Amino acid sequence: MWKNNPVNYGHVSRLLHWLMAIIIIGLMIVGLYMTGLDREDPSRRELYHLHKAFGMTIILLGIIRIGWIFISHPPQLPVGLKAWETKLAKSAKHLLYLLIVFVPVSGYTMSTLLGYPVDIFGLFELPMLMEKNKEVGEIFRSIHWIIAYLMIGVVGLHAAGALKHRLFDGAEKDVLKRML
């Protein structure tokens, strides 16, 4: 039930998957929205704080998720998939795991180098592990948005693949069913 089995995901993997999916999609929408706001807009500051705090929770959830893979192995992809489909699905998944770590890390690095502390839901502030350096901070700002946009593309591909198998490829290739 809680653990995965050879054909199905268990409760822990499903919970982590959907919780992270909702937070990541929310971060993308809020990230794109807040950067377009006027500097004087009263909601801008609050949205930046929320974006940063939820962004950091993704690292924590990502570490738990990666650790869980070793405790409870995920099911294999269905055997009926074409070789290119399996390759693409696996590549997208591995790239997503990397981005789950590197997008938030680049956000934290940018904020710290630009001199803005990262406050976690008003509970505590993360330590500033780097000295302020505006030039390098601007480089990390570019890195953050480039890999965040890459993540939007990979999440889209991942979701489109799952929907294609569900809608067009028959029940035995329905990988979405085992995550629902």
Q: Rule CB under 6 A: which residues touch ligand HEM?
A: 24, 27-28, 31-32, 35, 48, 51-52, 55-56, 58, 103-104, 107-108, 110-111, 118, 141, 144-145, 148, 151
The residue among 35 and 91 lying less far from ligand HEM, judged by its C-beta, is 35
How near is the Cβ of 101 to ligand HEM at its closest, in Å? 9
The residue among 3 and 116 lying less far from ligand HEM, judged by its C-beta, is 116
How near is the Cβ of 28 to ligand HEM at its closest, in Å? 5
Helices 134-168 and 11-34 sit at what angle, rounded to 10 degrees? 130
The residue among 56 and 89 lying less far from ligand HEM, judged by its C-beta, is 56
Residue 60's alpha-carbon distances to 63, 123, 168, in angstroms, are 5, 16, 36
The residue among 5 and 142 lying less far from ligand HEM, judged by its C-beta, is 142
How near is the Cβ of 27 to ligand HEM at its closest, in Å? 4
- Taking the C-alpha atoms of residue 5 and residue 133, their distance in angstroms, rounded to an integer, is 48
How near is the Cβ of 179 to ligand HEM at its closest, in Å? 19
Could you please report the per-residue DSSP string of 90-150? HHHHHHHHHHHHHHHHHHHHHHHHTT---EETTTEE----S---HHHHHHHHHHHHHHHHH
How near is the Cβ of 36 to ligand HEM at its closest, in Å? 8
Q: Find, among 55, 73, 75, 54, the residue nearest to 8 by Cα.
A: 75
**125 near 119, Cβ under 8 Å?**
yes
